[in-house]
Amino acid sequence: MSHKRKREDDNSANPYVQERPHFGELAEQFPVFRPFVHTDKNENPYIDFKDSEAVRTLTWCLLKRDFGLDVKLPADRLCPPVPNRLDYILWIEDILKETLPTDQFDMAHGIDIGVGASCIYPLLCCARHKDWKFDGTDIDETSVRIARDNIRKNKMNDRITIQYNSIPERIFLLDEGKKYTFCMCNPPFYASEEEVEQSLQTKQAEPFAICTGTKNEMITDGGEYGFIQRMMNESLIYKDRIMWYTSLIGLKKSVRPLVDQLESFGINNYVVSEFIQGRTKRWAIAWSFGPKRLHKVHNLVEYRAKLHFVSYMPKPVSYVREQVIAILQDLNISFEQDGNDPNVITGKPRAITWSRAARRLLNKKQKIEENELPIFEFQFALLEEEEEEEREGDKQLDGGCRIASVWLQGDKRTAFESFWFHVERRVQEACGVDRGSTFNSKSGAVSEA
């Protein structure tokens, strides 16, 4: 198993990525699993993933052994693969750890849209975090009933609440005035039974594992794109009542249209990641109306919102650092240098002091009115060029350095971009890149205009 979701904390990485479940050991621990375990000619144990009963029993064993959960998995409902579901949860944890104080992370309240009979996401999250709470919804009354049974069986009635959604077109059932930390969803992939059949026929190989999902779990109006689009539309109503809106995406063709939809709504605080478990590839999208922005969580480059800028300067890092500090001081922007690395500089401008109008006021020694709160938060990181890995096709600078600028927080992207371009231009001028030259910030080359 492998995945492309980079994690900062190896202790919280998906254990199933490093080591696949040993079917022989599971069979020894759980006699109910023994009938489904076979051995190949080399005496290696395996199971038939096209046997739905074998898959359900494997899932039950993993939930019991690794999380202490006893979960009923009905034969006529989707059987959730634990490694895939855990990947989504770990990704959400990464997002919350980066954007929440520890005490708020520890008391997170999530929403699971389409909780399913297994109630897998709320149960796993609450098993991992003793003070987390969850609200789950589903449009299938039978799934709601079984999910509630699973909650009672695992003694989590005081932490997980399940609601029946009688209006399938509606996504969110929020308690009046209440705020939530995040929502999650594994929407139906397809728009029709014909689309399901067509998907199976166009696969290059037979399905690796059997699917036992109901029509409600597999099909929705407009497919997964239509479902997540409705989530986005409703998020415009609720906005910061949910800090992070998230959803899994099963079809790559849905990703770009969904990113474009967010951009059309003016939502630029989002991230798209990719998970790979065995033969299964999934994507996930998260968006927020809050000011906290993600720069550590793995973000697919082709869908990345413009939060990062990089320039290469033909001068040593010590020289460039002096210029950056002098520019920030000239702009009356307070900043801090990292105690362990003076080449990492962060700041929170409270006024747009780099505009032409502001510069005229500063030149006249007139005061510029500042906002009570910062307009945005930025970080500059400077690295000697020789410390960087080789970049294919890029010309290396002799003694040059790189400036990486990151938008950490705030809701005014144009303000951050204008600030960065102002600082970049002045540093380039200080490095000898004058107005008669064209500076290629990608390669670091200086050429005559």
**What does the pLDDT profile of the chain (449 residues) look like in tens digits?**
334 444 434 435 788 877 788 899 999 999 999 999 999 888 889 899 889 999 999 999 999 999 999 999 999 888 898 999 999 999 999 999 999 999 999 999 999 999 999 999 999 999 999 999 999 999 999 999 999 999 999 999 999 999 999 998 899 999 888 999 999 999 986 555 565 556 555 553 333 455 556 666 666 777 899 999 999 999 999 999 999 999 999 999 999 999 999 989 989 899 999 998 777 889 999 999 998 888 888 878 787 777 778 888 999 999 999 999 999 999 989 999 988 889 999 999 999 999 888 878 777 777 778 888 899 999 999 988 654 444 444 444 456 888 988 888 887 888 899 999 999 999 999 998 765 444 444 333 333 32
Parallel/antiparallel/unpaired status of strands 180-185 and 109-113: parallel
Q: Would you state the pLDDT for residue 420? A: 93
Contact of 52 with 212, CB cutoff 8 Å: yes
User: What tokens appear for 383 in the block?
Assistant: 């690295």
Domain(s) of CATH 3.30.310.220: residues in the chain: 308-448
The CA distance from 80 to 83, in Å, is: 9
Contact 46, 207 (CB under 8 A): no
Hey, which CATH number is domain 10-222, 3.40.50.150, 3.40.50.300, 3.30.70.20, 3.90.1150.10? 3.40.50.150
Q: What is the pLDDT of residue 395?
A: 45
The helix (H) or strand (E) run that includes residue 270 is strand 270-277
Residue 176, classed as helix, strand or coil, is coil
CATH architecture classification, 308-448:
2-Layer Sandwich (3.30)
What CA–CA distance (Å, rounded) separates 125 from 131?
Answer: 10
DSSP label at 292? B
Nearest 10 degrees: CA dihedral of 303, 307, 310, 311?
A: 130
146 in Cβ contact with 72 (< 8 Å)? yes
In whole angstroms, give the CA distance from residue 71 to residue 154: 8
Query: In angstroms, rounded to a whole number, what is the distance separating the alpha carbons of residues 283 and 256?
Result: 11
Cα–Cα distance for residue pair 64/132, rounded to 1 Å: 20
Residues of the chain with CATH 3.40.50.150: 10-222
Q: Which amino acid is at 173?
A: L
Dihedral, 254, 260, 264, 266 alpha carbons, nearest 10: 110
What integer pLDDT is reported at residue 214 of this predicted model?
Answer: 63
